[in-house]
């Protein structure tokens, strides 16, 4: 509103770039808040003695404290403190009291105060901060309630204690989001009544069409709830959704649904409705919530359709019937050519027909539409292969077991995604999917002939016409009794109208009338349906390519939903759409006032896109399954991503963390020799390292009857990186060094880059005389140090004098080694791979060692090493996988010692000399871990699976060969779980396990979050934008054929304009890429309802 004025906190207004009124302060100066010195007001009030600085003062009244209208030329006239109000006696809060104290300590810590300016505010003066912290520390906790501790640097063993906030725990989201903290949303996600131990759950399954809307709706409800809850929707198709809703063969009881609600794009058949509602007296309602369209999409090259109107291809249902039954097999068939005379498709081009497998409403609706072809006058290809949703055995998914009985020439794919992927990848293909899905992927659409004889595509159609026509015909129920009756006679297909789309269908919610058996989950079923049918829910529908239902139908459906029966004592959820003081803080209120910081920064991206997977839980189980590992930093990103994937696929509440602290600490915490909980009791659930357990430690564990397995899961490499300026490289593009030269450098025997031993291998280099070598290396225990020292000792025998080992140092003197190698005082010690890489980047003429992928990701310059065959190679082009098959290589059993196993300095012209396995360390007896033992095994199984191994290249690792995977899997088969630990089952994204997929301990690839959908879309945009940037750069770098001399390259005004436009376009594209990267990072925020420990973009559970 132009010419408006209002007051809000300054930071809020500045964040929105609102113009600010310049105020007149006490000194008569006009200024805005950005120009003001806020600290002056605080200082003035402190000096006046009105701000308490003692604990007693913090307990007294502050009503006389004011920061308003203080003197000073730069003083802002309207300043106020923000306060924490904390009871002195927190005994009644139990463990929550300790959290109150810890929270206040964090807010008042230097790190907490450092965050304050980020949000447009000013931190309190140091004296006031310190005094406040002392006051907070005096609160009284309950008997037996201990303080939380903070691990700000590695504290081996102690860091794995239960009540420790460890800075060493992180998530894969950290990597993608950069400096944005993973826990920006965790505080609201953990809002819960600790007196309620049961996690309220909602689990649905069915059609894939509304999956994104359902996931988004669940995200919204989860973030607005105070009570811990988890809500999932398993997108498996309408047929499976109806099967699991009927539950006829459920081992828990005949006609007991597997799901809490079902969904489909087809109503129940009359037979199934009668069976469930009448014969079994299981009354249920079918509630339409959106109207969807089915379309036929193709992948005919645009050039072949350049002569047709708007590049379209027209097909009527008779021709489509012939195509999908195999009567028409080429695109130049007379029937197609008659409808598209201007097409230029090459003669004899075969049609690739792709269709769904398993039960699918798209198949049911599509086959029903094609079955009407026979009614058209003159149709020679009537539909004869049957109408139905289709199905197939999982052992032979391409062979139909139900109508339609597809021909052998068709290609079967699972899900809309499988069909769309096939169309995208195969020219001259055709298939059917929901219209919104195809348009979202920019697939070309077949123009269909409607009942009025008009050819159009679904974007041009008026969908509401079909719904209105059926409503006016009186076939759509509008009473509660009608929603409980059969809908099998309702169809939106082939309705009249020039703009009518011929294939329209409702999407339905299937809800049992009696929800008493579901307890609190019954109330969630009702609330979820209310949200979907609310104006806000219906407003989301078009976002996903569908149409909302008419208002009369929406209102009638909502009245029907409100009649469901809940269990005794189960109350409805309420919705706070505007501030309701007091009431809004009741436990069972979905409050629009609850949100996350991610919302602010993500804009249109929903705050809780990850909460669906983060809160997945088993209704009958309140225990959160936890998995906590620690060890080498190298695979940390791969581990965090794997944990994300498993958490989002789980129904049982899970929290999984990996603490990246180095191989040495990982082995220490896995061995647990000095654990106060018991000798040789591990601190972690599993360990990981880039070196095998040393023989001495292996023998100790064996002697203590603590058998374990070591599972290699990737091959990684170590490289030496340098920061020699390019200006001194001369004609050389690289630096070659052999092991003996590197040995001398790292022992400080060679200290200058122009040393004759370096120059002999690099005659083209031109180092200045004062080019001193800065040698940087790791401190504390590190597998990188162990492998580097092993290589230098092995490859240059007799020259390495400072010892082989992972190294270590006291925290009080971290640069002084306490274990081999005994680095010289002239070397620079840094913690972690990040510390080494940062030093190299910041200091010219430096050299250091770190994991190859880490260095390459930062575009550091790599030293080319001389391998065992005397060839200089780099890790990017070297043959890494081949080392496993090197002559004399012996692979032990998983439970044997791997101490003598080495991939170091193997023969081969292209072999990289410093290779190693990365290992998982797992105890054979996991019975003491309870259900966490099953999580350990499932984590390792996934890492060794084809999907898990497929992640390796993404993080610059080389996956292990199948022969080595077999060794690992044989080791996992030896693990012993406790009696109450049910092993996890995997349901892949490409196969459906009906019923089994909804079992508590199934990790289902069918579950995901709305965040994944938007992230994948943005990733595709990033690839396209990067390609555009590359093309623009190439264009800008390319001189014109008849360009002027160099001095006059931009003398032509038009050339100046062209160059300016190219630079402007490049700037826009680069800026947009930055925006996308930031948005992608923010999407993956941890959301944990209680218990802390979730740490991913897909988050953990409660």
Looking at the chain, the whole-number percentage of residues with pLDDT higher than 70 is: 88
Looking at the chain, the whole-number percentage of residues with pLDDT higher than 90 is: 58
The neighbour count for residue 101, using CB atoms within 10 Å, is 22
**pLDDT single digits (tens) 899-932:** 999 999 999 999 999 999 999 999 999 999 999 9
**pLDDT single digits (tens) 861-895:** 999 999 999 999 999 999 998 888 886 788 999 99
User: What is the average pLDDT across 370-393?
Assistant: 90
Q: Which of 449-463, 797-811, 835-849, 881-895 has the weakest average pLDDT?
A: 881-895
The residue among 94, 76, 70 whose CA lies nearest residue 31 is 76
pLDDT score for 1056: 57
User: What is the average pLDDT across 617-638?
Assistant: 78
H helices then E strands: how many in the chain? Answer: 36, 37
Give the whole-angstrom CA distance, residue 985 versus residue 988.
10
Beta bridge partners of 737: 865
User: What is the average pLDDT across 417-439?
Assistant: 91
Give the whole-angstrom CA distance, residue 84 versus residue 527.
34
User: What is the average pLDDT across 975-1001?
Assistant: 87
Residues ≥6 apart with Cβ < 8 Å to 1016: none
pLDDT higher than 80, residue 937: yes
Please give the residue that has the higher pLDDT: either 467 or 883.
883
Q: CA torsion angle for 305, 309, 310, 315 (degrees, to 10)? A: -70
The answer to whether 203 and 260 have CB atoms below 8 angstroms apart is: yes
pLDDT score for 183: 52
Please give the residue that has the higher pLDDT: either 359 or 264.
264
- Cis amide bond preceding 736, omega within 30: no
pLDDT higher than 50, residue 188: no
0.75 cut: is pTM over it? no
Reported as type and span, the H/E element at residue 713 is strand 708-722
The residue to which tokens 């810890």 are assigned:
102
**Tokens representing residue 85 in the block:** 């109000």
pLDDT higher than 50, residue 1043: no
pLDDT score for 1098: 34
Helix (H, G, I), strand (E, B) or coil at 938: helix
User: What is the average pLDDT across 105-116?
Assistant: 93
**Tokens representing residue 601 in the block:** 């920064």
Give the β-pairing of 200-206 and 229-235: parallel
From residue 361, alpha-carbon distances to 267, 342, 444, 675, 804 in Å are: 10, 34, 22, 57, 64
Give the whole-angstrom CA distance, residue 509 versus residue 214.
11
pLDDT higher than 80, residue 1026: no
User: 1054 pLDDT band (50/70/90 cuts)?
Assistant: low
Q: What is the CA radius of gyration of the chain?
A: 33
The answer to whether 510 and 262 have CB atoms below 8 angstroms apart is: yes
Give the whole-angstrom CA distance, residue 116 versus residue 995.
50
pLDDT higher than 70, residue 600: no
Give the whole-angstrom CA distance, residue 743 versus residue 749.
8
Q: CA torsion angle for 245, 248, 251, 252 (degrees, to 10)? A: 60
pLDDT higher than 80, residue 471: no
Q: Which of 160-169, 337-346, 1015-1024 has the weakest average pLDDT?
A: 1015-1024
The neighbour count for residue 280, using CB atoms within 10 Å, is 14
pLDDT higher than 80, residue 491: yes
The residue among 521, 538, 531, 540 whose CA lies nearest residue 592 is 531
Give the whole-angstrom CA distance, residue 122 versus residue 351.
67
Give the whole-angstrom CA distance, residue 2 versus residue 25.
27
pLDDT score for 1080: 42
pLDDT score for 1082: 47
Give the whole-angstrom CA distance, residue 652 versus residue 617.
4
**pLDDT single digits (tens) 720-751:** 999 999 888 877 889 999 999 999 999 999 99
pLDDT higher than 80, residue 1038: no
**Tokens representing residue 509 in the block:** 């919610």
pLDDT score for 761: 95
pLDDT score for 522: 96
Helix axes 1053-1083, 1010-1037, angle to 10 degrees: 160
**Tokens representing residue 971 in the block:** 């080791």
Beta bridge partners of 711: 920
Q: Indicate the length of the chain as a whole number.
A: 1102
pLDDT higher than 50, residue 997: yes
User: 634 pLDDT band (50/70/90 cuts)?
Assistant: confident
From residue 348, alpha-carbon distances to 141, 305, 330 in Å are: 82, 16, 6
pLDDT score for 393: 82
pLDDT higher than 70, residue 615: no
The answer to whether 483 and 287 have CB atoms below 8 angstroms apart is: yes
**pLDDT single digits (tens) 796-809:** 999 999 999 988 88
pLDDT higher than 90, residue 41: no
The average confidence (pLDDT) of the chain is 86
Residues ≥6 apart with Cβ < 8 Å to 993: 394, 985, 987, 1002, 1004
């Amino acid at each position: 509103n132009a010419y408006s004025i209002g007051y809000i906190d300054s930071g809020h207004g500045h964040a929105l770039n609102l113009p600010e009124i310049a105020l007149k302060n006490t000194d008569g100066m006009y200024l805005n808040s950005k120009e003001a010195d806020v600290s002056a007001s605080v200082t003035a009030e402190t000096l006046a003695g009105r701000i308490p600085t003692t604990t007693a003062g913090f307990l007294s009244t502050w009503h006389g404290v004011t920061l308003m209208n203080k003197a000073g030329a730069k003083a802002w006239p309207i300043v106020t403190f923000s306060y924490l109000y904390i009871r002195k006696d927190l005994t009644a809060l139990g463990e929550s009291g300790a959290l109150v104290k810890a929270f206040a300590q964090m807010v008042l810590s230097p790190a907490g105060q450092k965050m304050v300016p980020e949000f447009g505010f000013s931190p309190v003066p140091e004296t006031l901060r310190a005094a406040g912290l002392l006051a907070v520390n005096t609160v009284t906790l309950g008997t037996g309630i201990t303080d939380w501790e903070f691990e700000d640097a590695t504290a081996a063993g102690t860091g794995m204690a239960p009540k420790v906030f460890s800075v060493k725990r992180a998530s894969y989201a950290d990597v993608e989001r950069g400096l944005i903290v993973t826990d920006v949303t965790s505080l609201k996600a953990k809002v819960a009544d600790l007196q309620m131990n049961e996690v309220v759950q909602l689990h649905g399954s069915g059609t894939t069409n509304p999956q994104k809307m359902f996931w988004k709706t669940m995200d919204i409800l989860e973030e607005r709830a105070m009570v811990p809850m988890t809500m999932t929707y398993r997108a498996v198709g309408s047929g499976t959704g109806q099967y699991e809703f009927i539950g006829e063969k459920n081992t828990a009881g005949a006609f007991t649904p597997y799901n809490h609600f079902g969904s489909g794009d087809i109503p129940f058949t009359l037979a199934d409705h009668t069976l469930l509602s009448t014969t079994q007296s299981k009354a249920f309602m079918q509630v339409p919530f959106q109207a969807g369209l089915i379309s036929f999409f193709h992948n005919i090259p645009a050039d072949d359709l350049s002569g047709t109107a708007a590049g379209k291809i027209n097909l009527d249902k008779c021709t489509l019937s012939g195509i999908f039954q195999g009567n028409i097999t080429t695109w130049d068939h007379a029937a197609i050519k008659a409808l598209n005379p201007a097409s230029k498709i090459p003669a004899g081009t075969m049609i690739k027909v792709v269709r769904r497998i398993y039960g699918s409403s798209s198949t049911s609706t599509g086959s029903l539409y094609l079955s009407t072809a026979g009614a058209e006058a003159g149709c020679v290809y009537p539909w004869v292969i049957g109408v139905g949703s289709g199905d197939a055995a999982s052992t032979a998914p391409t062979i139909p077991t139900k109508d339609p009985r597809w021909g052998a020439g068709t290609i079967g794919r699972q899900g809309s995604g499988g069909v769309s992927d096939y169309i995208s990848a195969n020219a001259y293909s055709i298939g059917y999917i929901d219209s919104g899905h195809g348009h979202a992927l920019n697939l070309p659409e077949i123009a269909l002939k409607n009942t009025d004889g008009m050819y159009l595509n679904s974007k041009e159609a008026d969908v509401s016409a079909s719904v209105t026509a059926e409503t006016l015909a009186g076939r759509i129920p509008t009473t509660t009794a009608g929603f409980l009756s059969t809908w099998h006679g309702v169809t939106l297909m082939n309705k009249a109208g020039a703009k009518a789309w011929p294939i329209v269908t409702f999407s339905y919610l299937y809800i049992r009338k009696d929800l008493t058996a579901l307890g609190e989950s019954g109330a969630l079923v009702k609330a979820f349906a209310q949200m979907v049918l609310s104006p806000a829910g219906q407003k989301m529908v078009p976002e996903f390519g569908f149409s909302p239902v008419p208002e009369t139908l929406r209102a009638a459906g909502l009245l029907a939903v409100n009649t469901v029966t809940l269990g005794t004592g189960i109350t409805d959820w309420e919705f706070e759409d505007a501030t309701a003081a007091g009431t809004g803080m009741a436990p069972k209120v979905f409050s629009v006032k609850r949100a996350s910081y991610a919302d602010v920064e993500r804009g249109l991206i929903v705050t809780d896109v990850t909460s669906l997977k983060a809160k997945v839980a088993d209704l009958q189980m309140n225990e959160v399954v936890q998995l906590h590992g620690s060890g080498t930093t190298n695979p940390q990103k791969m581990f965090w991503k794997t944990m994300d994937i498993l958490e989002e696929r789980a129904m049982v509440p899970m929290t999984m963390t990996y603490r990246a602290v180095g191989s040495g600490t990982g082995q220490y915490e896995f061995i647990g020799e000095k654990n106060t909980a018991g000798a040789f009791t591990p601190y972690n659930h599993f360990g990981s390292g880039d070196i095998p357990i040393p023989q001495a430690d292996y023998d100790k564990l064996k002697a203590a009857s603590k058998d374990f397995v070591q599972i290699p899961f990737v091959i990684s490499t170590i490289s030496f990186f340098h920061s020699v300026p390019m200006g001194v490289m001369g004609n050389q593009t690289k630096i070659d060094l052999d092991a003996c030269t590197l040995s001398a450098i790292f022992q400080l025997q060679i200290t200058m880059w122009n040393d004759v031993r370096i120059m002999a291998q690099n005659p083209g280099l031109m180092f200045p005389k004062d080019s001193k070598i800065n040698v940087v290396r790791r401190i504390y225990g590190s597998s990188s140090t162990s492998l580097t020292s092993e290589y230098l000792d092995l490859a240059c025998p007799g020259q390495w004098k400072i010892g082989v080992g992972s190294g270590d140092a006291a925290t009080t003197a971290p640069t002084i080694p306490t274990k081999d190698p005994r680095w010289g005082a002239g070397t620079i010690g840094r913690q972690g791979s990040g510390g080494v890489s940062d030093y190299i980047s910041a200091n010219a003429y430096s050299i250091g060692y770190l994991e190859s992928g880490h260095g390459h990701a930062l575009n550091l310059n790599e030293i080319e090493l001389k391998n065992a065959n005397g060839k200089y190679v780099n890790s990017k082009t070297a043959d890494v996988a081949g080392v496993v098959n090197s002559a004399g290589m012996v692979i032990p059993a998983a439970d044997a010692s791997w101490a003598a196993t080495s991939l170091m300095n193997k023969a081969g012209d292209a072999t990289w000399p410093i290779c190693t396995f990365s290992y998982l360390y797992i105890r054979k007896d996991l019975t003491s871990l309870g259900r966490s033992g099953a999580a350990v095994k499932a984590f390792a199984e996934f890492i060794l699976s084809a999907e898990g191994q497929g992640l390796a290249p993404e993080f610059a690792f080389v996956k292990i060969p199948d022969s080595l995977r077999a060794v690992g899997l044989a080791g996992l088969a030896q693990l012993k779980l406790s009696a109450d630990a049910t092993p996890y089952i995997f349901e892949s994204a490409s196969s459906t396990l009906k019923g089994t997929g909804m079992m508590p301990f199934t990790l289902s690839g069918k579950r995901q979050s709305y965040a994944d959908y938007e992230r994948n879309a943005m990733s595709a945009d990033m690839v396209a934008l990067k390609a555009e940037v590359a093309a623009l750069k190439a264009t800008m770098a390319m001189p014109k054929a008849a360009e002027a001399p160099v001095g006059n390259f931009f003398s032509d005004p038009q050339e100046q304009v062209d160059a300016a436009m190219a630079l402007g376009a490049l700037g826009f594209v680069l800026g947009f890429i930055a925006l996308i990267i930031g948005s992608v990072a923010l999407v993956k925020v941890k959301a944990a309802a209680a218990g802390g420990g979730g740490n991913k973009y897909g988050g953990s559970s409660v």
